[in-house]
Chains A and B, each alone.
Chain A
Amino acid sequence: MRSPHAASNRVVLSLVALAVALLLLGDFASVQANRIAPGRGLGLFVALGPAWALAVLGALLTLAGLALRPSPARYRGMLALILLLLIQLPASLGWFIQLHIGADQPQARAGLASGCWSLLFLSLLLLIEVRQRVPAPWWWLGPGGLLLVTALLIQGGELAALALLREYASRSAAFWQALRGHLGLVGGTLGCSLLLGLALTGLIIRLPRLQRPVFGVLNFFQTIPSLALFGLLLAPLSYLAAHSPLLQSLNVRGIGWAPALLALVAYSLLPVVRNSCVALQEVAEEVLESARGMGMSRWQLFSQVRLPLALPVILEGLRITSIQAIGLTAVAALIGANGFGSFIFQGLGQGAMDLVLLGALPTIALALLADALFSGLARYFQPGGRR
């Protein structure tokens, strides 16, 4: 109905207009004399100098120009411009640091202000939009290049003055410990809830009248807010630990990893059990019939028919579970569980926003990674999906 030349892409135009407005109206980056001093925000032209600023604005306006009368070739041009915008972002920060923070200011820090964040955010939105208008298998070069250039600049020390990296530098050991703690708790949760969840699923399939009560209880857990569940587990666990030497030797207390793991498993069971029940129950009767007709034993039926067909749906349950557990592990820092949440709450307590970022950004990154990992696995195990 609509030929590629017929209409301008209003989505790209609006996103570009928004990006230009935010870049011109807000500060691009900020400079702090030290950790406690208030930051001084600098606009795009002051922060990057006129040449770099004009190049960024020029790229955005060209993007808008191409979006006025889009065609497949022009969409590929837009995609290339978006990749450039993404890849220049870390470089522009390195340039900003070189311009505004001298080598004689070892305490000074550079911060990202609204302009920088909105350029990053809107470029990613533009990428999502343009990517689905034209088939271009190289779209990942944008985010990939962004990460690569950032890594190279960090390695070369060009970004050392970035407030986030200054925070990291002063607690790098704690950072890796937090990562291990976070992953350990999430991994433990996934393992426990998978084992328990599959056992419950087996029970439900054998005794269908248990389905309603089991789901009732698991739904009930999901309703209870995490802070409340952590709090409710505190008293009973301290009591148990005080009266059991075995639990004491395992370092089980009212706070720490034990209540965190218990609560996380309680939350994780619903997605796991729901998805595996649905997946295992909804294998079509004809499929099972023909498998039986081939003379398969019960075990063969399970391992060669039911499980492979159910696996993608079970993996989807694990995806939800892992994202949920990564977020809740951060909350569990309040009850002393080790993880990135401890940076978030320490930073909030000290009013140190860069420390908050040092906790919040890796938490988000972990959640996005888990999402990508489990969606990828689900696609891989989709019947006929293996390429």
Chain B
Amino acid sequence: MSRRPSALRPWLAPLGWLLLLLAAVFWLGELEALFRALEPSARTLIYPRASFARLLLNHLAIVAAAALLAVSLGLAAGILVTRTWGRDFLPLVSQVAAIGQTFPPVAVLALAVPLLGFGSLPTVFALLLYGLLPVLRNTLAGLQGLPAEVLEAARGIGMAPLRVLLEVELPLAAPVILAGIRTTLTVTIATAAIGSTIGASTLGDPVIAGLVNGNSAYVLQGALLIGLLAISVDSGFDCLQRLITVR
């Protein structure tokens, strides 16, 4: 790939959002005067219980754990049921993936509590379950959507099944699979914020605390950070997707 200066241009948008996010994480605490206008009577104006940086890191850790597991499991399951010896399971798995996406994420999150209690673990578990489905669905769609002649040709020139998978099927299905991973990330980041209500410490904390205590300054701080995080990640992924599709 050529590394002309213009190759950096598509990354300007995600970079800008990321800088905005970092600026907010480190300097939101300095804007007390601004929040004073919003909430003149409140005693504290900046969310006091944890630093925004800590909350961001927690949020990212939960999202990363859930998304990594979801992507690897979803990809593995999608590949297994499209092989000859796993094909028996294909109809069931693809129907379950379709029905599962009807379940509201917040309900899945709530149902994880009776199983696993409060905290980060049930949050990761619920996000994993829910995040699995878009990856699985798109993996199935991507792998099944390949033209049969291509696979026939690959086998015809003597490629072993593993090589067909790694060098033909997955690269060709990659754009569709990536779109699934992007959906998973969006849902995971959004639902992790709601994970605050089941005891996971995330960027949702200031929002929930602000709503409970009637302090709209906290709410605004949390909401800004969550929004910026989601947009940064999504726009970064947008670039990645375009890069892969163009090549």
Question: A: which residues have CB within 8 A of B?
Answer: 9-11, 125, 128-129, 132, 220, 222-232, 234-235, 238, 254-255, 323, 326-328, 330-331, 334-335, 341, 344-345, 347-348, 353, 356-357, 359-361, 363-364, 367-368, 371
Contacts and interface: CB of A to CB of B under 8 A. Distances in A.
B107 A224 contact: no
Contacts of A326: 104
Contacts of A335: 211
Nearest to A334: B211
A367 B227 contact: no
Given A225-B189, A348-B110, A363 B227 contact: no
Given A225-B230, A227-B204, A363 B220 contact: no
Pick from A224, A227, A348, A353 the residue with the most CB of B within 10 Å.
Answer: A227
B227 A225 contact: yes
A226 B190 contact: yes
Contact of B219 (A234, A330, A348): A234
Interface in B185-231: 186, 189-191, 193-194, 197-198, 204, 207-208, 210-211, 216, 219-220, 222-224, 226-227, 230-231
Nearest to B227: A228
Interface stretch (B42-50, B90-98, B149-157): B90-98
B15 interface: no
Contacts of A363: 104, 106-107
Contacts of B12: none
A356 B114 contact: yes
Contacts of B107: 327, 330, 344, 360-361, 363-364, 367
Contacts of A227: 190, 193-194, 204, 207, 222-223, 226
B105 interface: yes
A230 B190 CA distance: 12
A89 B69 CA distance: 33
B96 A128 contact: yes
A125 B95 CA distance: 9
A125 B207 contact: no
Contact of A225 (B88, B102, B198, B226): B226
A255 B211 contact: yes
Contacts of A364: 102-104, 107
Contact of A234 (B103, B190, B208, B220): B220
B26 interface: no
Contact of A344 (B106, B186, B224, B230): B106
Contacts of A323: 102, 104
Contacts of B104: 323, 326-328, 330, 363-364, 367
Nearest to B235: A223
Q: How large is the interface on B (under 10, 10 to 19, 20 to 34, 35 or more residues)?
A: 35 or more
Given A227-B204, A334-B208, A345-B197, A11 B106 contact: no
B223 A231 contact: yes
Closest 5 CB pairs of A and B: A231-B223, A327-B104, A225-B190, A228-B226, A228-B227
A367 to B, nearest CB: 5
Contacts of B207: 227-228, 230-231, 334
**SS class, residues of chain B in contact with chain A:** helix
**SS class, residues of chain A in contact with chain B:** helix
Contacts of A129: 91-92
Nearest to B105: A327
A357 B207 CA distance: 24
B11 interface: no
B114 A368 contact: no
Nearest to B188: A225
A210 B138 CA distance: 30
A345 to B, nearest CB: 6
A353 B216 contact: no
A232 B227 contact: yes
Pick from B190, B208, B230 the residue with the most CB of A within 10 Å.
Answer: B190
Given A223-B186, A225-B189, A225-B190, A359 B231 contact: no
B230 A228 contact: yes
A228 B204 CA distance: 8
B23 to A, nearest CB: 17
A360 B110 CA distance: 7
Contacts of B231: 220, 223-224
A235 B106 contact: no
A331 B89 CA distance: 34
Contacts of A254: 216
Contact of A224 (B89, B198, B222, B227): B227
A328 B106 CA distance: 8
Interface string B225-247: 01100110010000000000000
A58 B104 CA distance: 35
B22 interface: no
A348 B198 contact: yes
Contacts of B110: 344, 347-348, 356, 359-360
23 contacts: A9-B88, A125-B92, A128-B92, A226-B190, A227-B194, A227-B222, A228-B207, A228-B226, A230-B207, A232-B224, A255-B211, A323-B104, A327-B107, A334-B211, A348-B113, A348-B197, A353-B114, A356-B110, A356-B111, A363-B104, A367-B102, A367-B104, A367-B107
